[in-house]
Amino acid sequence: MQRLPALAGKLPARFVERELLPIGIFVLLALIPALARLLSEGYLLSLCGRMMIFAIAAVALDLLVGYGGLISFGQAAFIGLGAYAVGILSVHGMGEALISLPAAILASAAFALLTGFVCLRTKGVYFIMITLAFGQMAFFTASSLAPYGGDDGLTIAARNTVAGTAVLRGEHLFYYLAFACLLGTYVLCRVLVASRFGRVFRGAKENALRVETVGFDVFRFQLVGYVITGALAGLSGFLLANATEFVSPAYMSWQRSGELIVMVILGGLGSLHGAILGTACYLLLEQWLSGLTENWKVIFGPLLVLVVLFARGGLLGAYGKLVGRLRHG
Amino acid sequence: MVEAVLRLENLRKRFGGLVVTDNVTLDVLAGELHAVIGPNGAGKTTLINQISGLLACDAGRISFGGHDITHLPAHARAGLGLARSFQVSSVLPGFSALENVALAVQAHTGSSFRFLRAVAGEAALNEPALALLAQVGLSDIAGKPAASLSHGERRALELAMALATGPKLLLLDEPMAGAGRDESARLLRLLRALKGRFPMVLIEHDMDTVFALADRISVLVYGRVLASGPPAQIRADARVLAAYLGDGTE
């Protein structure tokens, strides 16, 4: 959709969509704590905090799916690995974020490197199936980890400390940590997409054969992209474990991977900030509908189908069409 | 004796029971344009795919610039200077024409594992890319997405991409296929301009082009080289006439 930063040029509509919209999203997110206090709606803070944590994994997934054309159905496993790194370390009395954060990211990156080495030999549907298979392997492995809670999961005694201080226990500070991580993830992904690496990575989605025959080893570029995506999902897992003070195999379930793909598609593939919008929309809808009725999924499912059918390009696509219609009357 | 840039020795390839490349031996000399012709299904594209590394050979040997490349992957062969075009234009549709060529320039200009600097403004990539677009007559449409180019423009773009990789040999798989009369004339001029600067393997159905450009012609029939020699000799070869030229193609 808007994959050509070089040519975005002077089109104001493009500028609004590519620059102002993301800035608006982040300004709004930065103001949420103040807003929550003003409206004395405490749950707003935890809801948005949770949303940002998932948005980190969704933005990373958009890098892979929207720019690399690699539909991974195993993203949840990387989140879970990051979360389990925090949980397992805390069981052994290690509650220091300066240790557990790198451990979470490295664990997920290493898993991505090992599985990516196999997965990326395949294409299309086979890639989807094999990432799903590796994700389920991680899920069942976690379920059978009896010393770490098995099926029931693992309660973490307390949030991680940072250099011995308990700063993460402050709700506002924790919120802004998640905010900084999301902002960092977004900026990193945007820079990557526009770099030399990003051009080859995007090119492989357009026409892998052509990219190969001009002299690039496409596999290596995709592997690097896959590992970066996994590492960022590990970061998301680190935050998730600390936010909920609980780790469970359910974090790795394939349904969770599917939800992440839906979030990215809902927002609009290949824009990065669309993934943030999609995550927010998904979680808010889930929250609202589940408050209305117990059988909320009966409404939610068809709603998603409608979005896919009638708002191709997701929320951003619909927004673009709306702006276009307003402009041209 | 001029040195061979590319040498195929006893190349074989079979798909199931069908032998598509049968003991092919041919070479391409420095500066030479070597055309490969043959009826449909003769195995011309298969041969190009074997040379460029998209298909593995069952037997035989390919050497290029003194290297044995028989078992190298396609990207490594491209890295050595083997550039190709495809029978059906193969470009990156969502990229602009400029970005298509700049990507190809990037393939042999420093490492592409650079993650931070924005690539769109890199003069080291854009300047050579623009020069190449000018060479193939596409300067005006550098900013247009490749998907919106006409058929002939896409053919020219593909040539620019091949040239951008700093080739030591061009493998051109029917560069004129599907081009209109004007476009054909333009592409022919372009090929004439490139002739002599790069050794080329040209697969082409258009006999006027082949006989106008080729230094040597090899005739492929059922995967086998039926005859090989200068155009005049091929034109006079009775077997070729029977197998190919005589069946109304020209």
DSSP characters for B210-237?
Answer: HHHH-SEEEEEETTEEEEEE-HHHHHH-
pLDDT at position A243 is 95
Q: Does A66 touch chain B (CB under 8 A)?
A: no
DSSP state of A65: I
Whether the CB-CB separation of A64 and A225 falls below 8 Å is answered with yes
Alpha helices in A214-295 (DSSP H): 218-244, 254-267, 273-292
Complex ipTM value: 0.90
Q: Does A295 touch chain B (CB under 8 A)?
A: no
Helix or strand (DSSP H, E) at B14: strand B4-15
- Which one, of B167, B27, B178, B197, lies nearest residue B84 by Cα? B167
pLDDT of A116 above 50: yes
- Contacting residues of A for B165, CB less than 8 Å apart: 214-215
Q: Does A293 touch chain B (CB under 8 A)?
A: no
Cα gap B18→A295, rounded to integer Å: 59
Going by C-beta distance under 8 Å and a sequence separation of 6 or more, which residues neighbour residue B39? B221, B243, B244, B247, B249
Q: Which of B90, B99, B114 sits opposite A207 (nearest CB)?
A: B90
- Which one, of B79, B80, B94, B100, lies nearest residue B158 by Cα? B100
Q: Which of A3, A196, A206 sits opposite B112 (nearest CB)?
A: A196
pLDDT of A6 above 60: no
SS3 content of chain A, % helix, strand, coil (to 5): 80, 0, 20
Question: In angstroms, what separates the C-alpha of A226 from chain B's closest C-alpha?
Answer: 14
Mean pLDDT of A44-50: 93
Asked if A221's CB is within 8 angstroms of B106's CB, the reply is: no
Q: Which of A276-290, A303-317, B129-143, B163-177 has the weakest average pLDDT?
A: A303-317
* B43-100 tens-digit pLDDT: 899 999 999 999 999 999 999 998 999 999 999 999 999 999 998 889 999 999 999 9
Task: Please name the fold of domain A11-327.
Answer: ABC transporter involved in vitamin B12 uptake, BtuC (1.10.3470)
Domains of chain B: 4-94+167-247 (3.40.50.300)
pLDDT of A18 above 50: yes
Binned at pLDDT 50, 70 and 90, residue B244 comes out as: low
Whether the CB-CB separation of B51 and B6 falls below 8 Å is answered with yes
pLDDT at position A7 is 46
Question: In angstroms, what separates the C-alpha of A214 from chain B's closest C-alpha?
Answer: 6
Cα gap A125→A270, rounded to integer Å: 20
Question: In angstroms, what separates the C-alpha of B206 from chain A's closest C-alpha?
Answer: 25
- Contacting residues of B for A184, CB less than 8 Å apart: none
pTM of the predicted model as reported, rounded to 2 decimal places: 0.91
For chain A, which residues make up each domain, given as ranges? 11-327
pLDDT at position B101 is 97
Q: Which of B84, B111, B117 sits opposite A213 (nearest CB)?
A: B84
pLDDT at position B151 is 87
What are the φ/ψ torsions at residue A246 (nearest 5 degrees)?
-160, 145
- Contacting residues of B for A212, CB less than 8 Å apart: 74-75, 78
